[in-house]
Amino acid sequence: MAVHSEAHGRGHGEGHSRPESDPPGGLVDVLTRWERFGGHWRVLRVDEDWIELGLYSCDGGEQMHLISGARTSVLRSFLSGRESSNDSTV
């Protein structure tokens, strides 16, 4: 998983290579913690095996971080087609 601040963040394909391994828990842990503390997230870019997400402030107005990582089966299950934390879960 890669984490970038909004001001300095760039996704893969823009001069940054993909990290070789995700931290324990991966993106699902990051997203659930962010939501638990009142933040919002949105899917910004997806390809077959990689995803980029924006982490937004509690009011959803300001992007605080850009995170990216592998589209694992655990992450796909967590997202269940959702494009943001505001989308309802099935």
22 assigned to some structural domain = no
Closest CA to 12 of 38, 47, 42, 54: 47
Query: How many domains does the chain contain in total?
Result: 1
CA–CA–CA angle 63, 82, 74 (5° rounding): 100
Q: What is the pLDDT of residue 3?
A: 57
36 assigned to some structural domain = yes
14 assigned to some structural domain = no
Tens of pLDDT along the chain (90 residues) come to 555 544 334 344 444 445 444 555 699 999 999 999 999 999 999 999 999 999 999 998 999 999 999 999 999 999 999 999 999 876
Q: What is the pLDDT of residue 57?
A: 96
89 assigned to some structural domain = no
Q: What is the pLDDT of residue 13?
A: 41
Count of all residues that appear for the chain in the document? 90
Q: What is the pLDDT of residue 2?
A: 58
> Whole domain around residue 42: which residue ranges?
2-7+28-79
